[in-house]
Structure 1
Amino acid sequence: MHVTGYELFSVPPRWLFLKLTTSDGTVGWGEPALEGRTRTVRAAVSELVEDFLLGNDPMEIERHWQRCYRGGHYRGGPILSSAIAGIDQALWDIKGQQLGVPVYQLLGGRARDRIPLYQWVGGDQPGEVAADAERAVDDGYSVVKLTMTARSHTRNSEEVVEIARDRVAAVDDAVGDEADIAVDCRGRISKGRLPRLASVLEPYGVRFLEEPVLPDQNESLERLSPTVGAPMATGQRMYTRWDFKRVLGNDAVAIVQPDITHAGGISEVKKIAAMAEAYDVDVMPKCPVGPISLAACLQIDFSTPNAVLQEQSIGVHELEGNEHLRYLEDPTVFEYDDGNLEPPTEPGLGIDVDESYVREQSEKEIRWQTPLWHHEDGSVAEW
């Protein structure tokens, strides 16, 4: 058996799907998306598949990962790691189907019987965020996450702190007795102002602070950690185990959040999770993208003892045309009970992609770009 072909599909709202086909007709799906850079990642996936996969045995996943990563003089970064991630997911999907088991069985078997999900909630004003949080709790979620501000303000201002406090306070008033609240900083606050933010939010018992500093300031996390009461989490904009080792070795964070679509796929995220376990650090895989990536995340969740919570974007109102489940033949695979998902039982990634619908949607013009925000003085702001 060998890889005989591939296809790439750009689909709404901002996702990229990869279909790998083998000589015996087995099809594996992956999601090598990088939101806002779809055309660039498409080119990278094509180069890697044509250079290293076509004509080769898809079962040799580790060899293919190493060839894709080390086969060029330049390594890492979001483009290459996202391309590898989608290829890796598709190869695991094929291998699971060939052996007739879910991928998590090939990663050591189940470490748990269910994994809790959390829901991102949003809105421009505190009342809107609170209403969205109430909706999420009504839907069964016990953890909600909000961004600290609806837009970027001057990062080193007291205004940023006050806005974050008002948003968290409104959500706490609405659902504080029923759900934990997490806060995504998204780099919208300076590291100098972070201790002040943590102090103001302390009465609300924040579950975790996500990306409290920009990823290129991660060296500051060790110093800041004692000043921040809430557990700190980071990892969405980190792409390899070599990136994560810099925050694991100094007790800088309590939670790592590798994105299975950007951080090298199932193979790499499993290694990142094992590294984190050695440092008593929890894992919460990031998944603000599509259903193939969510299916891949679940393979990590159910085979990883230190995985504690799973992000997902089903129904997130931020994404126009977010028909997350419409891309699946059987959307019930992601049906949750009391905010928890049980392990998939079908082989491979455990999903059947509705290829006809994927092809139909790929005919649309997809040109999603990360919003470009500016401060009042015209300078570029963090999104």
Structure 2
Amino acid sequence: MSPLKPAPTKAGAALPITGATVVVTCPGRNFVTLKITTADGVYGLGDATLNGREMAVVAYLQDHVCPLLIGKDAHRIEDMWQFLYRGAYWRGGPVGMTAIAAVDVALWDIKAKVAGLPLYQLLGGACREGVTVYGHANGETIADTIAEAKRYQAMGYKAVRLQTGVPGLADTYGVSADKMFYEPAAAGLPQESVWSTNAYMRVVPELFAAAREELGWDIELLHDVHHRLTPIEAGRLGRDLEPFRPFWLEDATPAENQAAFRTIRHHTTTPLAVGEIFSSIWSCKQLIEEQLIDYVRATVVHAGGISHLRKIAALADLYQVRTGCHGATDLSPVSMAAALHFGMSVPNFGLQEYMRHTPETDAVFPHAYSFDQGMLHPGDTPGLGVDLDEDLAAAHPYRRAYLPVNRLEDGTMFNW
């Protein structure tokens, strides 16, 4: 049965789950998708991709989660979330929470299809006309990066992330040969990169100074540190960037120690964003309650799905912290659509990352969302507005790939 034309379901009636299958495909990079089917033929999709550790989530879903779903009522989304979280006893972690997120999003997809509404309408309706997004401009040199940023400006983007190569380093996070479809994971054993904080700290202020000179002040500029600085180093970088008014400084230091962000706050007024690797509200509770960050970047697929992300957003709203969901290409169009429905509906939306998928990926995951003048709209198709071409997915078999790792110049293992 077409997901766009669900069979009528009696209001209030249970909707038994009859099937749960996991589809793994690699149209240029790996994606894991959970498909949940109900007794009346309506199905929902959930993204379960964990970059570089995809098959760990596949095993957790297939061996532990999917058997639990059969016969359950697809409408009882919150109860199912609690069942999978509390019932496992071993709570949290990226593998378990990614699996829960896949179930949660698939059930929301089903509920919205049964209702005949785009998902954001079930989440309270639209709080805005569209979801403002940012793209990724990168280059080997500052001039290359600014040229890419101008290309994004010409495409209608109102916000752009800037990443540039660091002189003296063979490769740098965020800089890729394919400027539009960045993918850091690669086949074979993990690539080992070399890192120099001193060289990096010199080049980033130069990048932003040149960017403001060339791009002007009518575009928002962002930067991702990718967890590579100590708190005091991050404070120094944030202070150096203040004259150029960055929209945010992302992942300035590892956030396992949430209190570390106090040090950064003491030294800079540059807005701070963090959270793409958070797996639950507990990962950001102190950061939010002490207003140590300005944007929480937890994502649908890794932070327990739409249900849990709404709890994070609600807590953040009390402290004037806004959302800034992760949206890299290691999240499938299923996850991107979920983030857009979420972003349309929460009052404290901030900004949405948008790395475009390749044509091969878009063919496997046909979708209703669209880009126009710097914003994405999820569309008004019932549910998420994303489907899965399973025949085409099968034509792109899984290929094991790893994210890179980092070492300092003396060989010490470091944060990638």
Q: What is the match of residue 104 of structure 1?
A: 120
Deviations 1:337-366 (A, max 9, x none): 2111234211111223333322322x2x42
Deviations 1:170-196, CA, capped at 9 Å, x for gaps: 433432344211111111222121222
Q: Does the Cα contact within 8 Å between 2:46 and 2:335 map onto a contact in 1?
A: yes
Q: What is the Cα deviation at residue 310 of structure 1?
A: 1.1
Confirm or deny: 8 A CA contact 1:48 1:68 kept in the other structure. no
Corresponding residue number in structure 2 for 1:5: 19
Secondary structure of the equivalent of 1:183? Answer: strand
Structure with bigger helix share is 1
> Are 2:78 and 1:62 aligned?
yes
Q: Distance in 2 between matches of 1:94 and 1:190?
A: 44
Amino acid at match of 1:97: K
Alignment partner of 1:153 is 2:191 = no
CA distance in 1, matches of 2:351, 2:235: 25
Matches within 5 A, 1:160-171: 160-171=200-211
Residue type of the alignment partner of 1:85? A
Displacement of 1:226 after TM fit?
Answer: 3.0
Q: Which residue in 1 is equivalent to 2:186?
A: none
**Residue 153 (structure 2) pairs with residue 137 (structure 1):** yes
The 3-state SS of whatever aligns with 1:76 is coil
* Structure 1 SS opposite 2:56: helix
CA contact (8 A) 1:285 1:297 kept: yes
Of residues 66, 75, 79, the one that matches 1:50 is 66
Say which of 218, 240, 246 aligns to 2:286: 246
Alpha-carbon separation, structure 1, partners of 2:241 and 2:203: 11
Partner Cα distance (2:336, 2:273) in 1 = 19
Change (3 A) 1:323 1:380: farther
RMSD: 1.9
2:272 is aligned, of 232, 238, 260, to 232
Matched, 1:348 2:364: no
Question: For residues 216 and 414 of structure 2, what CA distance do their matches in structure 1 show?
Answer: 31
2:415 aligned residue: 382
Q: CA contact under 8 A between 1:291 and 1:327: conserved in structure 2? A: no
Q: Which residue of 2 aligns with 1:29?
A: 45
Q: Which moves more between the two structures, 278-287 or 28-37?
A: 278-287
Match of 1:312 in 2: 354
> In the TM superposition, what is the alpha-carbon distance from 1:47 to its structure 2 partner?
3.5
CA shift for structure 1 position 167: 2.9
- The code of the aligned residue for 1:312 comes to Y
Residues 1:302 and 1:88: Cα distance change in structure 2 (over 3 Å): same
1:285 Cα deviation after fit? 1.5
Q: Structure 1 residues 327 and 211, CA, compared in 2 at 3 Å: closer, same or farther?
A: same
TM-score (normalised: structure 2): 0.84
Residue equivalent to 1:318: none
Give the CA deviation at 1:109: 1.7
Q: Which secondary structure does the structure 2 equivalent of 1:64 belong to?
A: helix
Pick from 319, 334, 340 the counterpart of residue 279 of structure 1. 319
The answer to whether the 8 A contact 2:135-2:152 is kept is yes
Distance 1:174 1:325, change over 3 A: farther
Aligned partner of 1:78 among 69, 94, 103: 94
Task: Please tell me whether the aligned partners of residues 235 and 265 of structure 2 are also in contact (alpha carbons under 8 angstroms).
Answer: no
| Equivalent pair of 2:295/2:350 in contact (CA under 8 Å) | no
| Distance in structure 2 (CA, Å) of the matches to 1:342 and 1:33 | 23
Q: Which amino acid aligns with 2:338?
A: A
Q: Structure 2: any 5+ residue segments left out of the alignment? A: 1-14, 167-171, 174-193
- Counterpart of 1:85 in 2: which secondary structure? helix
Q: Does 1:256 align with 2:270?
A: no
Q: Is the 8 A contact 1:260 1:296 kept in 2?
A: yes
* CA displacement at 1:325 relative to structure 2: 2.3
Aligned equivalent of 1:190 = 230
Once the two structures are TM-superposed, the CA of residue 324 in structure 1 deviates from its matched residue by 4.0
Q: Is 2:140 the partner of 1:124?
A: yes
Tell me if structure 2 keeps the 8 A contact 1:18–1:90: yes
Is residue 256–residue 283 contact of structure 2 (8 Å, CA) maintained in 1?
no
Gaps of at least 5 residues in structure 1 are 316-320
Q: Does 1:372 align with 2:399?
A: no
Identity %, equivalent residues: 32
What residue number does 2:188 align with? none
CA contact (8 A) 1:8 1:17 kept: yes
Letter aligned with residue 314 of structure 1:
R
Task: State the one-letter code of the partner of 2:315.
Answer: M
Equivalence for 1:328: 365
Aligned partners of 2:214 and 2:94: how far apart in 1?
A: 37
Distance 2:296 2:60 in 1: 26
Q: Does 1:14 align with 2:30?
A: yes
CA distance in structure 2 between the partners assigned to 1:128 and 1:290 by the alignment? 28
Which range moved further: 101-110 or 251-260? 101-110
Count of residues in Structure 1 that have an aligned counterpart in Structure 2: 372
